[in-house]
Amino acid sequence: MSTVEERVKKIVCEQLGVKESEVQSTSSFVEDLGADSLDTVELVMALEEEFETEIPDEEAEKLTTVKDAVDYIESHSS
């Protein structure tokens, strides 16, 4: 079973079309990985699907780095 971080990184690579080596835990989706606003919406939707959770808009806005996403999912999964 992959860790949450591995699964998040895999989704980030798929959605943003970046290589796994480019994705660090501190990478910012917009500044480091070149995501535009539509990419971030798609990314959040992909995370919701993968982890079977719903991320409210006001929380989704705060997820700017890989670590933010991992922390959010870990603290919101049972």
Partner 1 sequence: MLEGQVVLVTGASRGIGSAILERFASAGATVIGTATSESGASAIAGRISENGWQGDGVVMNVGDAESVTEGIKTIGQKFGPPTVLVNNAGVTRDGLAMRMKPDDWDEVINTNLSAVYRTSQAVLKGMMKARTGRIINLSSVVARMGNAGQMNYAASKAGIEGMTRSLAREVASRGITVNAIAPGFIETDMTRELDESQRDAMLSAIPAGRLGEAGEVADLAVFLASEGAAYINGETIHVNGGMYMN
Catalytic residues: 36
Least spacing, CB of residue 62 vs partner 1, in Å: 22
CA gap 55, 23 in Å, rounded? 22
CA gap 58, 21 in Å, rounded? 30
Least spacing, CB of residue 28 vs partner 1, in Å: 20
CA gap 77, 17 in Å, rounded? 27
CA gap 13, 15 in Å, rounded? 6
CB closer to partner 1, 37 vs 75: 37
The answer to whether 45 contacts partner 1 (rule: CB under 8 A) is yes
The answer to whether 57 contacts partner 1 (rule: CB under 8 A) is no
Interacting residues with partner 1 (CB under 8 A): 36, 38, 42, 45
